[in-house]
C-alpha cells in the first residue's frame, strides 16, 4: 500500500525540480500549482517518469480512493490510508492560505467541508491528513515539506470555538436579516429592493512548516532542492517495516539523506513534547 514512506523513497530516487518543464514535457499540465499536485500524486503512486498516460491513470486509480479539487479538502485520499492536502507557496516565509477551511489535525467523514464523493469513497470515519507544502518560484521546486496534521494543527474544537463565537456575535447585530449558512454569516435584503446579500466568510491562514518547525530543521541554503518530513513515532512505526528498513538502510549510504529522532511540540499544549522522526534529503 502507498504511504508517506514509499513516497519519500520515490522522491529520493526521482527528484523533480523543474516542475513545469517536466509536466509540460509529459503533456499533462500547464499550471504550476497543479504541477505540484501531480508530482505529489506521482510520488505516492510510484509513477514519477511514467510516460504512458493509460498506465499512469491505472496506477493512480489503484493508489487513491479519492481525488478532489481546489475548493474542497482534501486533494486526495490513499486507499485505506491517509488523506493528502497539497499547498504551494512562493518562499520559505509565506503562510498557507486555507481560505474558509481551518487547519485540520485529522479529517472526519462528517465534516461539512468535504464533498459527498469524498465521504463515500470508502468506508471511513476519520483519516490522518498529510500537509504537503512545496516552495515553488520561477517554476522551480526548491523545498518540499511533509507534516501530519496531528503534529501541525490544533484540535478542531480550538478553531470551532473561535469560529462559533464570531458567528454568534455577527448574528446578534440588530436590524439585520440573516439566513442559515455554513459560512460565518449571510445578510439578506441589504438594499431597499431586497436583491443584494452579503456573504461573511472566514479566511484562515497558518504559518508554513518550515517556519513552524524551524526549532528542529533548517534547509540547506545552497541546495537546489530540500525535502523535509516530520512523522511522529507512533505513526512512523505503523508503516510497513520492510519499507522503513529500506529507507533507514538507504540513509546509511547517502550523505544527503538523514533520519533523526527529534522532539516536537504538541499543538494543543506546547508544554508537552512528542517523539518524532525528522527525515531530510537534499540535492
Peptide bond into 78 cis (omega under 30): no
Question: What pLDDT, on the 0 to 100 scale, is given for residue 171?
Answer: 78
Question: What pLDDT, on the 0 to 100 scale, is given for residue 8?
Answer: 98
Question: What pLDDT, on the 0 to 100 scale, is given for residue 33?
Answer: 58
Question: What pLDDT, on the 0 to 100 scale, is given for residue 31?
Answer: 55
Residues 6+ apart with CB under 8 A from 137: 90, 91
Question: What pLDDT, on the 0 to 100 scale, is given for residue 95?
Answer: 94
Question: What pLDDT, on the 0 to 100 scale, is given for residue 181?
Answer: 78
Question: What pLDDT, on the 0 to 100 scale, is given for residue 227?
Answer: 98
pTM, two decimals, is 0.91
Mean pLDDT by 10 residues, the chain (283 residues): 96 88 57 79 94 94 92 91 96 90 94 92 97 92 97 94 84 78 81 83 92 96 95 98 97 95 97 98 96
> For residues 102 and 163, what is the distance between their CA atoms, to the nearest angstrom?
9
Question: What pLDDT, on the 0 to 100 scale, is given for residue 59?
Answer: 97
Question: What pLDDT, on the 0 to 100 scale, is given for residue 23?
Answer: 65
Question: What pLDDT, on the 0 to 100 scale, is given for residue 72?
Answer: 79
Residue 117 to residues 146, 187, 253, Cα–Cα distance (Å):
25, 30, 44
Amino acid at each position: 500500500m502507498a504511504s508517506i514512506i514509499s513516497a519519500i523513497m520515490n522522491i529520493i530516487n526521482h527528484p523533480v525540480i523543474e516542475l513545469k518543464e517536466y509536466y509540460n514535457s509529459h503533456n499533462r499540465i500547464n499550471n504550476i500549482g497543479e504541477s505540484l499536485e501531480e508530482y505529489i500524486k506521482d510520488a505516492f503512486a510510484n509513477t514519477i517518469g511514467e510516460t504512458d498516460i493509460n498506465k499512469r491513470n491505472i496506477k493512480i486509480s489503484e493508489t487513491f480512493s479519492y481525488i478532489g479539487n481546489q475548493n474542497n479538502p482534501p486533494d486526495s485520499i490513499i486507499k485505506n490510508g491517509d488523506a493528502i492536502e497539497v499547498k504551494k507557496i512562493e518562499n520559505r516565509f509565506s503562510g498557507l492560505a486555507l481560505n474558509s477551511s481551518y487547519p485540520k489535525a485529522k479529517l472526519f467523514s462528517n465534516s461539512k467541508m468535504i464533498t459527498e464523493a469524498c465521504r463515500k469513497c470508502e468506508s471511513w470515519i476519520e483519516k490522518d491528513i498529510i500537509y504537503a507544502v512545496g516552495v515553488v518560484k520561477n517554476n522551480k521546486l526548491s523545498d518540499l515539506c511533509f507534516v501530519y496534521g496531528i503534529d501541525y494543527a490544533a484540535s478542531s474544537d480550538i478553531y470551532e470555538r473561535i469560529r462559533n463565537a464570531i458567528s454568534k456575535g455577527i448574528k446578534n447585530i440588530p436590524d439585520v436579516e440573516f439566513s442559515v449558512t455554513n459560512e460565518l454569516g449571510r445578510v439578506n435584503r441589504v438594499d431597499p429592493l431586497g436583491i443584494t446579500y452579503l456573504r461573511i466568510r472566514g479566511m484562515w491562514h497558518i504559518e508554513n512548516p518550515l517556519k513552524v518547525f524551524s526549532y528542529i530543521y533548517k534547509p540547506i541554503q545552497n541546495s537546489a532542492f530540500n525535502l523535509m518530513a516530520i512523522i511522529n513515532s507512533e505513526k512512523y512505526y505503523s508503516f510497513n517495516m520492510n519499507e522503513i528498513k529500506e529507507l533507514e538502510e538507504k540513509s546509511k549510504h547517502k550523505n544527503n539523506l538523514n533520519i533523526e529522532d527529534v522532539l516536537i511540540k504538541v499543538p494543543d499544549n506546547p508544554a508537552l513534547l512528542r517523539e518524532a522522526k525528522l527525515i531530510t534529503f537534499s540535492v
